[in-house]
Amino acid sequence: MSDTADAQEDAQGTLANLMRENRRYDPPKDMAANANVTADAYDEAAADRLAFWEKQAQRLDWDTPWETALEWESPYSKWFVGGKLNASVNCVDRHVAAGNGEKIAYHWVGEPDGDTRDITYAELKDMVCQAANAFTELGVQKGDRIAIYMPMIPETVVTMLACARLGAPHTVVFGGFSADALKSRTLDCDAHVVVTADGGYRRGAASALKPAVDEAVTGTDVRTVLVVRRTGQDVEWTDGRDVWWHDVVDRQSTDHTAEAHDAEHPLYVMYTSGTTAKPKGILHTTGGYLTQVAYTHWAVFDLKADTDIFWTAADIGWVTGHSYIVYGPLANGATSVLYEGTPDTPHKGRWWDIVEKYKVTILYTAPTTIRTFMKWGEAVPEGHDLSSLRLIGSVGEPINPEAYIWYRHFIGGDRCPVVDTWWQTETGGMMISPLPGVTAGKPGAAMKPLPGISCEVVDEAGNAVPDGGGGYLVLTEPWPGMLRGIWGDDERFRETYWSRYPGVYFAGDGAKKDEDGDLWLLGRVDDVMNVSGHRISTTEVESALVSHQKVAEAAVVGATDPTTGQGIVAFVIPRGDGEGTSGEEFAQELRNHVAKEIGPIAKPRQILVVAELPKTRSGKIMRRLLRDVAENRQLGDVTTLQDSSVMDLISAKLPSAAREE
């Protein structure tokens, strides 16, 4: 695209639409012939959106039918009004009652080699009932909040389902977060019970959890800390407050009569970072959320529950884990893999060992993980039999085309469709994605809103951009799994999501439409760079860099520049051993490559070759910290990083960074 075209794009008050992608991959013929969802679903939903969602809600068992599909008074929605159901019953009891109790719910794989458990739906139901009875004995009542700070073990799922059974909203705090993070979330939702473990396994060693809980609950109203013995390490103990799971849960009855809860009864609060220091407690309720995650899990993954082995390779501490490790797969009676550890423990082929052993058919993971595998090289997966896979998915941030191609070829064997999904903690479930039996995949594109979802790309004034234009992603109609508010802060809810474009939800993400009208996500608008008046997405420059054969991963930020307003600063991780990837010659090679892929306006001012990037434990790149480095500022908060020492290494690189004069 020429600089003139860029300027015209910017004049519309939108993001520049720079990159072009012409590769296409049609659905496999056998998948298209037997797909759960066909193209007719788009027409059905467009004809009567509410009737479409009512049809999907019938996938669940309701104790009391709803009276009204939707009550909507912007920005507040109620779905399936008057209906009553129990999420836990829908996830376990009904499958046992239907005669599927002996079906495996989870193949659980601990990080230590050989540490595995297969858990049937009948066993899971018994465990959930015991936990619900234990919570009742501990004084938990309907409406009480329970904080969960756990490793990826079966008891984590059991705790969530026991909370749902009792109508006690849970808030899961990722087990890698600090004591301060746990404390702030516990205080915000006024949780009086915390469920944790002595520790978990991470990168080959036992990692303690209980000490962080002890610190976090000091000065709070937490009355009970329920502790699972996972690693056997010594823990401090407070009599009268701390109780062992095996002492109080294991002796309970496996019978528990579940109460049906209102469709709008709170199911969980999930905290997500905000622009202020205080995290946002995103509230999800029961009926609409469970409807959307069950439907999207079945539709987007073309789930065949009788034969598929499904693996969402994420942590339950994130919304991906809530929706597509726990509630969606269990509501559909699926068999899933649940893995405790990291991809490189005890070796870099651990994931592919798991795929091969359990004959995983559907894999769902993040682009950052895929790019890590690219960095390790294709020889790792090539040493394993991955022929069981039939569909692979991406979640968490936009996937760049080269990572998509690598994933499709080396993991999917050039036979598996890639479903690149866009959604958020706030949306509850998937919103934009290819349908694997319908859509011709475009590397890097999320494609179209799913049936029943209404969205648009708009300019600064809220006007829809034409095909070929870029702008801001908004959701124009309420959807069943949508957030119902920010816990205890209605004003922040309105201001954060509903104030920029009145009456519609602003997702905070940039997006573009290609000439076919298909959608490409461009990342957070906070990450947009303004270079000489051109609004350029970090995502597109990163994609251009990663398309270079020597680059495994890249992160790009805009840094203050006296001439251009902002200059593009790129941090790149080389592939393989990094040979030939240092010095000005390599930096110039990458600048020229970006100019060829996008245009001269997007050439990085500065390129730093690094060994790793600062990422949260969910795999998202912390560009805020990279901006601090690029502008020689003191680093901001690094407590959510997977490895805070990465920033020291990157900062040390800055003085010798290659610059274009």
pLDDT (tens digit per residue) in 157-192: 999 999 999 999 999 998 887 888 899 999 999 999
Output the six-digit token pair for 122: 């009948």
**What is d(CA 168, CA 177) in angstroms, rounded to the nearest whole number?**
23
Confidence band of 6 (pLDDT split at 50, 70, 90): very low
Q: What is the mean pLDDT of residues 572-577?
A: 85
Q: Helices in 438-576 by DSSP H: which ranges?
A: 490-498, 538-546
Residue 656 above 50 pLDDT? no
Report the predicted TM-score, pTM, of the whole model to 2 decimal places.
Answer: 0.85
Output the six-digit token pair for 489: 């802060």
Alpha carbons within 13 A on the beta-carbon side of 92: 25
Q: Helices in 530-582 by DSSP H: which ranges?
A: 538-546
What is the per-residue pLDDT for 617? 63
What is the per-residue pLDDT for 637? 57
**What is d(CA 509, CA 35) in angstroms, rounded to the nearest whole number?**
31
Q: Which amino acid belongs to residue 617?
A: R
Question: CA 344, 446, 299: angle at the middle one, nearest 5?
Answer: 85
Domains of the chain in start order, with CATH, are 29-513 (3.40.50.12780), 528-659 (3.30.300.30)
What is the per-residue pLDDT for 464? 96
Per-residue pLDDT of 238-287, as tens digits, reads 999 999 999 999 999 999 999 999 999 999 999 986 544 578 999 999 99
Q: Comparing 448 with 600, which gets the higher pLDDT? A: 448
DSSP reduced 3-state for 371: helix
What is the per-residue pLDDT for 565? 74
**What is d(CA 216, CA 170) in angstroms, rounded to the nearest whole number?**
17
